[in-house]
Amino acid sequence: MEFSVNHPILFVIAGILIAVVLAQSVFFLVKALRRSKQLGMDQKKLKKTMLSAALFTIAPAVAIVISVMILSKSLGLPLPWLRLSVIGSMSYETVAATNTLNAMNETLGASNLTAQQYVTVLTVMTISIMMGIWLVPAIGKKLQKGMQSLSNRDAKWADIFSISLFIGMIAAFLGFVFCDVSRLWTAEDGIVTAIKDGVTVEYSATSGLIPVCVMAVSALIMIICGLLMRKPKLKWLSEYALPISLVLGMASAIPFTMWLG
Amino acid sequence: MKKEMTYLDSVHRDGRIWNLSVMVLLLAFPAAVCVIFNVLPQWNSLLMGLIATAPMYWAVGAIETVTYVPMLGAGGSYLSFVTGNISNLKLPCALNALEQNEVSANSEEGEVVSTIAIAISSIVTTIIIIIGVLLIVPLTPILQAPALQPAFDQILPALFGGLGVAFVSKNWKIAVAPAILMLILFIFVPALNAGTVGIMVPVSALFTIGVARIMYKRGAL
């Protein structure tokens, strides 16, 4: 059979795998919903949670579609479709493909991939990210048991422990938002060159402030939503607060980039 | 008499079956391509590619597992480590859901809520990508329009701004020290950037737990 990166059979295989992953999500959703009924949880509230989760997911998911589009130019459509529907990311897939093709003295996107190049890249991509998918079955239960016994010993500390994990993660991303602020004093003649996804890009000295401004807008909108939500009539805002702050924050990036980029 | 299986036990049993099955299926993809197109990988390049790629991502995967499993809950973890986008989508989604329902992450209600949020997020993501793939021709010029690009480049700041307010405002005492530490590190250490933020999450989490422990012992929380 003659190979092409967009061969129909590749779409069929990717489609089957994605259907299985989708089935897993549906399975766990049904299982958790059944349990919620047994526990007597407020079903109306859970419906709102589901709506909020779905709305919140739209913008990041569209960003993933854009990554699929970019990668499809060099790798065909089925491979990025599958890879970005399971664990992986634009930067990871690019790194894995580049590393493998470099070993064959090829560059990503330079020419049409042969079947052998394709299967080599695909194997590296598949194996190199396969840690969590088996490690969670291997040690997930133990980790959860550890949290449970902590909770049994000292419930208040266990809650603080969980919150500390969340806060720790948020603090790391807060730092990340500020990581390019240093361009203000490292820029030469107002320009900084950096490598992004294997391509050299020029940035202005003030470009590091864009994420900071976007975060500030998003935080401000969340605060406004929080204040509005105190009024009983506007309590419904709670489901939409995070999706609204996400989308408006993203939208604010457009003028900020024009101004500072 | 056989002890009755708890809900959590059954989540772990089902999760193990699902994840290991998906893992086998993912590995079957390259194998199927080999058989269908009658071709073998270029072994030398495969090895070089793996050596250059796998160690770092395996290390990150191991650290992510230990860091994120206690936050995601059991069902959420099995799903998240198959469908990915954990720190930029699944975890924020779960956190928001726990906040809305005012349940502790350590309770069974918390487990159920985070599983529901993560499952919905996974389903919606998969469906949106399917729509994107089906409509790739008409959608490409719209979504890749240069005017929209800055918005998609800034998803993480837009996400953590809102989430940060919701979470930090309720726990500001715990948040002060790690926020200052991370700001100083990320601003002044050039090696810390988008590529290394994943490695800093467990560092920051451990630091926060340490600070919180001291405050808790002193009765400040």
Judged by DSSP in three states, A71 sits in helix
Tell me whether residue A227 is exposed, middle or buried, using C-beta atoms within 10 angstroms of its C-beta: 0 to 12, 13 to 18, 19 or more.
exposed
Instruction: State whether A140 and B15 contact (CB < 8 Å).
Output: yes
CA distance A178 to chain B (A): 6
The Cα–Cα gap between A223 and A227 comes to 6
Q: Are B75 and B10 in contact (CB under 8 A)?
A: no
The count of residues in chain B is 221
pLDDT digits (tens, 9 = 90+) for A202-224: 999 999 999 999 999 999 999 99
Q: From A13, which residue of chain B is nearest by alpha-carbon distance?
A: B29
Task: Report in angstroms the alpha-carbon separations of A90 from A79, B143, B209.
Answer: 12, 16, 32
List the one residue out of A173, A171, A175, A151 whose CA is nearest residue A161: A151
Mean pLDDT of B30-59: 94
Instruction: State whether A17 and B25 contact (CB < 8 Å).
Output: yes
List the one residue out of A177, A187, A186 whose CA is nearest residue A209: A177
pLDDT digits (tens, 9 = 90+) for A18-33: 999 999 999 999 999 9
Q: Give how far the C-alpha of residue B161 lies from the chain's centroid of Cα atoms, to the nearest Å.
A: 18
Per-residue confidence (pLDDT) for residue B3, from 0 to 100? 61
Mean pLDDT of A167-196: 91
Please, which residues have CB within 8 angstroms of residue A218's CB and are 6 or more apart in sequence? A245, A246, A248, A249, A252, B157, B158, B159, B160, B161, B162
Residue with tokens 């793996």: B50
Q: How many helices (H) and strands (E) does chain B have?
A: 10, 0
**Chain A environment of B220 (Cβ under 8 Å):** none
Confidence of residue A90 (pLDDT cuts 50, 70, 90): confident
Per-residue confidence (pLDDT) for residue A197, from 0 to 100? 66
Question: Which tokens hold the place of A59?
Answer: 């913008």
Tell me whether residue A53 is exposed, middle or buried, using C-beta atoms within 10 angstroms of its C-beta: 0 to 12, 13 to 18, 19 or more.
buried
CA distance B37 to chain A (A): 6
Instruction: State whether A116 and B42 contact (CB < 8 Å).
Output: yes
User: Is a pLDDT exceeding 70 seen at residue A137?
Assistant: yes
Neighbours of A142 (CB within 10 A): 10
Mean pLDDT of A137-149: 92
Q: From A78, which residue of chain B is nearest by alpha-carbon distance?
A: B133
Per-residue confidence (pLDDT) for residue B1, from 0 to 100? 47
Instruction: State whether A41 and B14 contact (CB < 8 Å).
Output: no
pLDDT digits (tens, 9 = 90+) for A32-84: 999 999 999 999 999 999 999 999 999 999 999 999 999 998 999 999 999 99
**Is A236 within 8 Å of chain B by CB?**
no
Q: Which B residues 112-171 touch A at CB under 8 Å?
A: 112-113, 115-133, 136, 139-140, 143-144, 147-148, 150-169, 171
C-alpha distance across the termini of chain B, in Å? 44
Instruction: State whether B150 and A141 contact (CB < 8 Å).
Output: no
Tell me whether residue B145 is exposed, middle or buried, using C-beta atoms within 10 angstroms of its C-beta: 0 to 12, 13 to 18, 19 or more.
exposed
Q: Are B88 and A89 in contact (CB under 8 A)?
A: no
pLDDT digits (tens, 9 = 90+) for B110-159: 999 999 999 999 999 999 999 999 999 999 999 989 999 999 999 999 99
Buried b (16+ CB within 10 A) or exposed e, B73-107: bbbbbbbbbbbbbbbbbbbbbbbbbbbbbebbbbb
Q: From A180, which residue of chain B is nearest by alpha-carbon distance?
A: B187
Residue with tokens 């664990």: A87
Instruction: State whether B33 and A49 contact (CB < 8 Å).
Output: no
CA distance A185 to chain B (A): 11
Please give the DSSP secondary-structure letter assigned to residue A188.
B
The Cα–Cα gap between A235 and A246 comes to 19
Q: What residue ranges do the domains of chain B occupy? A: 171-221
